[in-house]
Structure 1
Amino acid sequence: MRTVRTLIVDDERYAREELAYLLGKFSSIQLVGEAENGEAAVLKTLQLQPDVVFLDVEMPKMNGLEAAKSLVELKKVPLIIFATAYPQFAAEAFRINAVDYLVKPYDEEQLKQTIDRIEKVLFPAMPVDSSGMLGKLAVEADGEINYLLPQEILYMYRDEKVTKIITHTQEYEVRTTLKELESRLEPFSFFRIHKGYLVNLMYVSRLTPWFNGAYQLELEGLDTKLSVSRNYVKDLRQRLEL
C-alpha cells in the first residue's frame, strides 16, 4: 500500500494528539513527526521529507503562514493543509497553494475529503497508452529532467516565450509551445479555455459568469481564478457536465 508521509505542526500538544488520533484511522497515513512551531516545521520538513504537512496558523516564533511561505521554497515541496481554529486566514492560505483548510474542531467527514484530495494529488490514476507504456511529460528545470504524470498538472499557460506548467506543489517553465503540449496531452482531460491557457478538467470546481459572456474558472486547491473566453464556454460546459 502506498503511504502518505505526514508531519503535524501545532503549538498545542493536545491538538497534535487529537489530529494524530484522527489521522490514524486512515490506512494510507504514516505519521513521521510532529513540530510545535513554524521554525521547527521547516527543519523537520528538511529532515523527514514528508509528503504532507498539517499546519496550524497561530503559533509562536514563526506562524503557520510564514512557515508555509518557507516550505514552498524548498526543492521538494510538501502538500500543505492548514488546520486551525481561525477561518479568516483561508484566503491567504490558498494564495500559498494550500491543498485544503481545516477548521477546528475537526469534522471527520471533512477530514476524509481532505485525505481523498491528498491521495488524488499524490497517487493519481495512471492510464497506460496503447503500447502499455506510462505516458509522462518530460520537463527540464535547473539541469534536471522531471517526469510529470498528466494528472499532476492543474493548468498551463503561455508567458511570452515560455510555457508555464502549474501543479499543486511546483511551477515549471518549458520552451514547448502550448499548441504542442495540447497535442501531446490530447488523450487526457485537458481543455483550452483561452488562447493562452490549457486546464486539467479533473480539477475544475466552479464556473462564475463574468462579463460579455465570458466566465471565470476555479480549480480545486487554488485561489487563482482563470478567465474562460466566451468562444470556449459552450464546449467547456459540454465536456464538464453529465
Structure 2
Amino acid sequence: MNEKITVLIVDDERFSREELNFLLESYERIDVIGEAASGEEAVMQSLKLQPDVLFLDVEMPKMDGMGVAKAVQELKKVPEIVFATAYPDFAVEAFRHQAIDYLLKPFDEEQLSETIERIEKKFQQGEKKAEFHPSKLAVEVEDTIEYLNPSDIMYVYREDRITKIVGRERMYETKDALKDVEQRLQGFSFFRIHKSYLVNLDYIYRLTPWFNGAYQLELQGTNEKLSVSRNYVKDLRNKLEL
C-alpha cells in the first residue's frame, strides 16, 4: 500500500514548527497536513484534519502536550503521538501515553530518521492487518456453525426479531441484529434497501417504480420482489449505474 502518513505539527514556537516541517519534507511517506500553535488548536485541528501522527511539543501554555495527548484519546480517529521537547524529564510520562517516540530539541536528524522508521513500521503493521478480513459469514444452525460464502447470499432481512439470510440454495436464520450482519458483510457487495432489508448488488437485474417514490427490486434466482424505500433509491442507483 505505502499510503502517505499524515502529520500535524504542534508547537507554540513558530521557529520549531518551521524547522520540523522542513526536516520532514525529505521523507517521502510523510505528509504534513497542518500546524497548531497551542494545545487547544491541536485538539481542534486533530478533530478536523484527522492526522495519523501528532508531533507534539510538551511545554505549552494553558493546555500542554500531555493534556493534548489525553484529549485526543477521545476522538474517533486517535492519532499516534511523537513528543518533541527540550526537556528530557518528561520521557517517562510521555510513554505512559503510549507515544511512538520522544524527540529532544534541537532536533537531531539521525534521531528523527529513527523516529520516522518507527512510524513507518507501525503503519505497515496496521496496513497488513487491514488487508486481512474474514471471507466467510458464520451462522449458527442448531448445534453447529455453518460458514457462508457472501457471494452465495442474495439478500438478508429482519422479521419477527429473527434475521433471515436468503442464499441461492437455502435460507438461514440467526438472532443477530440486521445491523450486526451488515457490519460483518462490510467489504462485500451488500446494500441496505430498506430498514429491514440488505441485498447483494450482484444479484440485482431490474428496478421498477412502484408508488410514493418507492421501487420494487427483482433479483436473479428468485421470483420475489423486494421493496426499496424511497430514502435509499438514489444511493442504490448511484451504486448500480455506470
Pick the TM interval, shorter chain: 0.5 to 0.7
Cα distance in structure 2, aligned partners of 1:44 and 1:125: 23
- Pick aligned residue for 1:136 from 107, 132, 139: 132
The residue aligned with 1:37 is 38
Distance change (3 Å), C-alpha of 1:125 and 1:6: closer
The residue aligned with 2:140 is none
Task: Quote how far apart the aligned CAs of 1:125 are.
Answer: 8.4
Cα distance in structure 2, aligned partners of 1:33 and 1:18: 14
Deviations 1:107-166 (A, max 9, x none): 1111111111111111238779xxxxx87367xxxx766x9xxxxxxxxxxxxxxxxxxx
The residue aligned with 2:240 is none
Cα distance in structure 2, aligned partners of 1:51 and 1:125: 12
Distance change (3 Å), C-alpha of 1:104 and 1:125: same
Cα distance in structure 2, aligned partners of 1:4 and 1:79: 11
Cα distance in structure 2, aligned partners of 1:136 and 1:105: 41
The residue aligned with 1:160 is none
2:76 paired with 1:80: no
- Give the TM-score normalised by structure 2: 0.53
The residue type equivalent to 2:3 in the other structure is: R
Runs of 4+ in 1 over 4 A off after TM superposition: 125-128
Distance change (3 Å), C-alpha of 1:119 and 1:44: same
The residue type equivalent to 1:60 in the other structure is: P
Task: Quote how far apart the aligned CAs of 1:60 are.
Answer: 1.1
Cα distance in structure 2, aligned partners of 1:84 and 1:116: 19
Cα distance in structure 2, aligned partners of 1:54 and 1:136: 29
RMSD: 2.7
| Structure that is richer in helix per residue | 2
The residue type equivalent to 1:18 in the other structure is: E
Q: Radius of gyration: which is bigger?
A: 2
Higher relative contact order (CA 8 A, sep 6+): 1
User: SS where residue 98 of structure 1 aligns?
Assistant: coil
Cα distance in structure 1, aligned partners of 2:35 and 2:121: 24
Deviations 1:89-109 (A, max 9, x none): 110110011110000011111
2:49 paired with 1:48: yes
Distance change (3 Å), C-alpha of 1:58 and 1:25: same
Task: Quote how far apart the aligned CAs of 1:74 are.
Answer: 1.4
The residue type equivalent to 2:132 in the other structure is: K
Consecutive unaligned residues of structure 1, counting only runs of 5 or more, are 129-133, 148-242
The residue aligned with 1:106 is 107
Distance change (3 Å), C-alpha of 1:39 and 1:135: closer
Task: Quote how far apart the aligned CAs of 1:8 are.
Answer: 0.2
The residue type equivalent to 2:25 in the other structure is: G
User: SS where residue 8 of structure 2 aligns?
Assistant: strand
The residue aligned with 1:168 is none
Task: Quote how far apart the aligned CAs of 1:24 are.
Answer: 0.7
User: SS where residue 124 of structure 1 aligns?
Assistant: helix
The residue type equivalent to 1:116 in the other structure is: E
The residue type equivalent to 1:70 in the other structure is: A
User: SS where residue 45 of structure 1 aligns?
Assistant: helix
Distance change (3 Å), C-alpha of 1:126 and 1:40: closer
The residue type equivalent to 2:90 in the other structure is: F
Cα distance in structure 1, aligned partners of 2:128 and 2:25: 30
What percent identity do the matched residue pairs reach? Answer: 55
The residue aligned with 1:58 is 59
User: SS where residue 125 of structure 2 aligns?
Assistant: coil
User: SS where residue 121 of structure 2 aligns?
Assistant: helix
Instruction: Summarize the alignment of residues 1-242 of structure 1 with structure 2, pairs less than 5 Å apart.
Output: 2-124=3-125, 136=132
User: SS where residue 78 of structure 2 aligns?
Assistant: coil
The residue aligned with 1:214 is none
Cα distance in structure 2, aligned partners of 1:23 and 1:78: 17
Consecutive unaligned residues of structure 2, counting only runs of 5 or more, are 135-179, 187-242
